[in-house]
């Protein structure tokens, strides 16, 4: 469990590691060989609810990872959680994590980007094309 009495910088560093750990597990699965993919996918999806609960508990009442202050880790979390939500949308239908993602996407500059023609999130590979799960939107 993450200690909630750390300094803002310390909490941001810890949250960075929590989010990065989630992404490393996701990448391990995505870039695995096709013969190992299904087993790693099952393992990832079994562990995901606990990881998301840990992230939700860390954010707590928020609204951001370290409380009221928006930091770099919120942007990392948005990117990683949004990618994983694309992979497994059922895990992101309701609750504090989808609320957090939406709160981030509603920040004025991000909202403008997501609504612009410059936003390519639905038209590019999430991972490299050589990945077993590359997130190719044309295959979704």
DSSP per position, 15-34: HHHHHHHHHHHHHHHHTS-H
Tokens of 47: 């562990």
The closest of 40, 30, 2, 42 to 18, measured between CA atoms, is 2
Beta bridge partners of 122: none
Instruction: Find the Cα–Cα–Cα–Cα dihedral 88, 90, 91, 94, rounded to 10°.
Output: 140
pLDDT at 79: 94
Positions in the chain whose pLDDT score sits under 50: 1-5, 140
pLDDT at 1: 40
Tokens of 31: 């870039």
Q: In this structure, what are the phi and psi dihedrals at residue 93, rounded to the nearest 5 degrees?
A: -75, -35
pLDDT at 10: 85
> Do the Cβ atoms of 101 and 109 come closer than 8 Å?
no
pLDDT in tens, 97-122: 999 999 999 999 999 999 998 887 77
């Amino acid at each position: 469990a993450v200690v909630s009495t750390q300094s803002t910088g310390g909490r941001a560093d810890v949250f960075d590691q929590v989010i990065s750990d989630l992404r490393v597990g996701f990448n391990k699965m995505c870039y695995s060989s096709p013969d190992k993919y299904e087993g790693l996918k099952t393992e990832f999806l079994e562990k995901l609810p606990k990881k998301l609960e840990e992230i939700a508990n860390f954010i707590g009442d928020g609204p951001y990872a370290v409380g009221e202050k928006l930091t770099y880790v919120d942007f990392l979390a948005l990117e990683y959680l949004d990618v994983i939500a694309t992979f497994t949308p059922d895990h992101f239908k309701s609750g504090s994590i989808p609320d957090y993602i939406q709160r981030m996407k509603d920040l004025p500059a991000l909202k403008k980007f997501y609504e612009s023609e410059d936003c390519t999130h639905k038209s590019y590979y999430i991972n490299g094309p050589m990945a077993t799960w590359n997130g190719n939107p044309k295959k979704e």
